[in-house]
Amino acid sequence: MNRREFTKAMLACGAAIPFGITRAAGQTRGGTLNTIIQPEPPVLVTALNQQQPTLTLGGKIYEGLLKYGADLKPMPGMAQSWEISPDGLTYTFKLFPGITFHDGKPMTSEDVVFSCMKLLVETHPRARQNFSRVASAEAPDPLTVVFKLKQPFAPFIGCFDCTSAPIVPKHIYDGTDYRKNPKNDKAIGTGPFKLKEWVRGSHVHLVRHDGYYLKDQPYLDEIVYRVIPDAASRALALENGTVQLVQWSDVEFYDVQRFKAQKNLEFTTKGYEYFAPHQWLEMNNRIAPMNDKRFRQAVMHLIDREAFSKRVYFGNAKVATGPISSKTRFYDPNVKRYEFSVDKAKALLDDMGLKPGANGKRAEIKYIVPPYGESYQRAGEFFRQSFARVGIDLVLVGTDMAGWAEKVGNWDYEMTQNLLYQLGDPALGVARTYISSNIKKGILFSNTQGYSNPEVDKLFDEAAITLDAARRQELYSKVQQILVEDVPVAWTLEIEYPIIYDKAFKNIVTTGIGSHETFGSVYKS
Amino acid sequence: METVRAFLRHPSGMIGLVLLLVVVVVAIIAPMVFPVSPWEMVGAPFTPPGEDGLWLGGDTLGRDVAAGVAYGARVSLLIGIASALAAMAIGVVIGAISGYFGGKVDLVLMRMTELFQTIPAFVLAILLVATFNPSLLTIILTIGAVSWPPLARLTRAEFLRLRHREFVEAALCQGERTWRIVLGHILPNAISPILVVTSLTVATAILLESALSFMGLGDPNLMSWGFMIGAGRTVIRNAWWMSVFPGLAILLTVLAINLFGEGLSDVLNPRVSRRRS
């Protein structure tokens, strides 16, 4: 060590002491978080668009009344406390005092009532479902909101996070055409970060909202969301530290393994509990041979889902056992299990009379490959090989996004793959796929496969309006048993998206909403 | 016979022919060497070349890259030849009509040909394939539809050259029917440059098909080289073999066809030959 190095080392020690003290005192202020937004969202107002990139970015700008932990229990958001009347009809929220919008105007209960009852029911399909159950919403004083429901709806308390019910300023939107409001470009919310600039095709720059109501928060000075369309470049940006956080499918599954090993990075699959992405092979139940339960059961036996997870998702997925994700409430593992068995599949197909023809083929089925990237293509190829083992020809058909949505929405398909979020409660995220009242032509993510079973309808309906958790579990266990027996869709995997971030950043994942969260408490050490 | 002998003495032409024969043989024996479908996941994902009995390694799903390359030869040759023939059919008919009749017919047909020539072939091909769902037939027709203009112009030039030669005039004087003059007298004399250009069109057709498959616009049910590169491209940093071997296959095949086509050209048109022997 020469003299210069020695001085440097001494200085470093000196610097470390006060630094250590501030750290011990709590979270440090300042710092920039660089991350990725992929693909670039069309708009940042989460009330108007609920695609994943919009929610990820808009989650910093717009807040909800509540947050949900990894266990999906409600936590304070903008509401510091809440009360549910014993009959399950009245929900009273007390807001934090001193909440302001980014334009400086105060946020009051009037804004909440306006957002939930007027704006969101027009622009947010999921919120429309939830708030259509409300008989009246009132704002008795600026910090109190009271919702009165028409009838009890147990998961109503799960409808208030920033993705389900973002609060927008009434003074900007009331009486305007919401989607054409010129202030949409400004994206004015109450979140810890506000929009500074959005350079299309390049980046979205968020800076600290100084009037934020939680003491000292946000700790970060700014967050920059970079638009990087190419997957390899995104991986490279994380590798060389240009970005310090990636979420959802920013980094492709085949790269995830590599980053798990990189020392300065933290890897987690937590922070997706609210969404619990659940994936299945969708079969149009209206068309032969998919209209026969035995055929659909055979499909469950045909797909080696362990291998599917390993080969297509590189192990970033867990085998699904039924309609409800193991990460969601009311999951019941005690259902019929379909182990990988070509013989059992063959027996079922023989039993239903779908025997091999002269050329050894049992059937030819068209499979529409969802145009959402490579893993979907690989999945189609995996399924085709699985079906070939019993003499079923799966013909892959490529299409574009509009084509896929059009075909699946209008039931003009035989098989495809689908992935839906569970949204924290079976009544919100699961029932929609199986109840017959949700067989709606032209609407994606409804009961598109056309499964209809009055008993399932009854169980889902009753479970939604039952308040007692034990009774709900009973109902959902029953419904899971029936569905797993009937196999309306062949559940494949619970996809485990990663969140990978630089270890210097703390509190990245604090709730079940993960990277959609406000990031007010994120700090750099 | 003389032509064949001349070709046998043509060194680069022979190299092309031998390489091409190798590709053809690989395409023919693929099902015997690799009895399992190239889509079957026979090994562990990311198997490096030489391990687990996979000579050229396994791809991201554990499919045999060697089997893929072999079966890809069938797809590439089939699509290459079929779409070159389609292009020839369109090009020769349009060029022949244009060159033989001349006048307004020529004017209209040639303006149409120019219209096609001004649109970049690959962009038009993407548009066509994306509009009609990608399948073997639509890909062949698409590549044919974007590759015919050079053939039409060549045929027209040949027909213009031969149209007023004595033997054609003689046939006309004898009162022979138009189609007999075109098919019996002019076309046989124009065929050699057309064959040469058609053989070179096979090479561009193979490249076009690979490019389409690379972009995910190939027939998803066919294992083709372009598809393999497209699928392996994303992991090229960890697994070079998934894209390099099919890439080499494309390189060799296209090179072989080009060498063969040039040899053919030199032998069939000794006067315009670029060879100074």
User: pLDDT tens, A228-248?
Assistant: 988 889 999 999 999 999 999
CA distance B269 to chain A (A): 45
Of A231, A310, A385, the CB nearest to B234: A231
Rounded to the nearest integer, the mean pLDDT of chain A is: 92
pLDDT over 80 at A25, yes or no: no
**In this predicted structure, what is the pLDDT of residue B272?**
57
Residue A377: closest C-alpha in chain B: B220
Kindly tell me the number of DSSP H helices and DSSP E strands found in chain A.
Answer: 17, 21
Q: Which residues of B touch A311 (CB under 8 A)?
A: 41, 45, 60-62
- pLDDT tens digits, residue range B92-143? 999 999 999 999 999 999 999 999 999 999 999 999 998 888 899 999 999 9
Provide the pLDDT confidence category of residue A16 given band limits of 50, 70 and 90. Answer: very low
Residues A85-104: tens digit of each pLDDT:
999 999 999 999 999 999 99
Residue A193 has pLDDT above 70, yes or no: yes
- What's the confidence (pLDDT) of residue A375? 86
A23's enclosing H/E stretch is helix A3-25
pLDDT at A12 over 60: no
Residue A11 has pLDDT above 90, yes or no: no
The residue with tokens 């409001």 is A181
Per-domain residue ranges of chain B: 2-41+54-276
Interface predicted TM-score of the whole assembly (ipTM), two decimals: 0.81
pLDDT > 50? residue A18: no
Please compute the mean of the pLDDT values over residues B40-68 and round it to a whole number.
91
Average pLDDT, chain B: 92
Q: CB-based contact (8 Å) between B53 and chain A?
A: no
Answer left, alpha or beta for residue B276, where phi above 0 means left and psi between -120 and 50 means alpha: beta
Residue A8 has pLDDT above 60, yes or no: no
Q: What is the pLDDT of residue A240?
A: 94
Whether residue A7 has pLDDT greater than 80? no
Return the structure tokens found at B191. 């065929």
Which chain B residues contact residue A314 at CB under 8 A? 45
Return the percentage of chain A with pLDDT > 70, whole number.
Answer: 95
Length, in residues, of chain A: 525
The yes-or-no verdict on residue A201 having pLDDT over 50 is: yes
Mean pLDDT of A266-292: 96
Contact call for A258 and B45, based on CB within 8 A: no
Residue contact B134–A398, C-beta within 8 A? yes
Strands (E), A73-159: 74-76, 79-84, 90-95, 134-141, 144-149
The whole-number average pLDDT for the span A269-298 is: 96
Of B60, B130, B134, the CB nearest to A378: B60
Residues 242-301 of A with CB under 8 A from B: 252, 254, 258
Closest-CA distance of chain A to residue B235, Å: 7
The angle at the Cα of A421, spanning A418 to A427, to the nearest 5 degrees, equals 115
Report, as an integer, the average pLDDT of B219-232.
92
Average pLDDT score over residue span B10-25: 95
User: Which pLDDT belongs to residue A316?
Assistant: 93
Confidence of residue A26 (pLDDT cuts 50, 70, 90): low
A192 close to A130: Cβ distance less than 8 angstroms: no
Query: Cβ A374–B234 below 8 Å, yes or no?
Result: yes
A105/B contact by beta carbon, under 8 A: no
CB neighbour class for B166 (10 Å; exposed up to 12, middle 13-18, buried from 19) = exposed
A3 pLDDT higher than 60: no
A400 reaches B (C-beta below 8 A): yes
In angstroms, the separation between the Cα of residue A513 and the nearest Cα of chain B is 29
End-to-end distance of chain B based on CA atoms, in angstroms?
A: 20
Which structure tokens are listed for B208?
A: 């076009």
Helix (H, G, I), strand (E, B) or coil at B252: helix
Q: Which residues of B touch A388 (CB under 8 A)?
A: 37, 39-40
- pLDDT reported for residue A4: 55
What's residue B45's pLDDT?
87
A310 touches chain B (CB under 8 A): yes
Verdict on whether the full-model pTM lies above 0.90: no
Q: In this structure, which topology does domain B2-41+54-276 adopt according to CATH?
A: MetI-like fold (1.10.3720)
pLDDT for A488-506, tens place per residue? 999 999 999 999 999 999 9
- Mean pLDDT over A13-25 rounds to 44
Pick from A369, A381, A397: which is nearest to B61 by CB? Answer: A381
* B41 lies within 8 A of chain A by CB: yes
Q: Identify the residue among A254, A304, A314, A372 best suited for mutation to test binding to B, counting B beta carbons within 10 A and taking the highest.
A: A254
pLDDT of B268 reads 85
CB proximity under 8 Å: B 119-138 to A? 130, 133-134
| Rounded alpha-carbon distances, angstroms, from residue A318 to A7, A305, A322, A498 | 53, 9, 12, 13
User: Six-digit token pair at B37?
Assistant: 């479908």
Query: Sheet holding A415-420: strands in order across?
Result: A317-319, A489-495, A278-283, A415-420, A363-368, A392-397
Above pLDDT 90, what percent of chain B?
A: 77
B155-213 pLDDT, tens digit per residue, is 999 999 999 899 999 999 999 999 999 999 999 999 999 999 999 999 999 999 999 99
Using a pLDDT cut of 70, give the percent of chain B over it: 97
Question: What HEC string does chain B produce?
Answer: CHHHHHHHCCHHHHHHHHHHHHHHHHHHHHHHHCCCCCCCECCCCCCCCCHHHCCCCECCCCEEHHHHHHHHHHHHHHHHHHHHHHHHHHHHHHHHHHHHHCHHHHHHHHHHHHHHHHCCHHHHHHHHHHHCCCCHHHHHHHHHHHHHHHHHHHHHHHHHHHHCCHHHHHHHHCCCCHHHHHHHHHHHHHHHHHHHHHHHHHHHHHHHHHHHHHCCCCCCCCCCHHHHHHHHHCCCCCCCHHHHHHHHHHHHHHHHHHHHHHHHHHHHCHHHCCCCC
E strand or H helix at A259:
helix A253-260
Mutate to test the interface with A, among B39, B234, B237 (most CBs of A within 10 A): B234
Chain B interface, mutation test: which of A316, A382, A397, most B Cβ atoms within 10 Å?
A397
| A254 vs B60, B133, B216: nearest CB | B60
Which among A303, A247, A245 has a CA at the least distance from the CA of A277?
A: A247
Min Cα–Cα distance to chain B from A287, Å: 22
Considering CB atoms only, which of B217, B220, B238 is closest to A369? B220
Out of B130, B220, B238, name the one closest to residue A380 (CB). Answer: B220
Question: Would you call B240 an interface residue with chain A, using a CB distance cutoff of 8 Å?
Answer: no
Question: How far A379 CA sits from the closest chain B CA (Å)?
Answer: 10
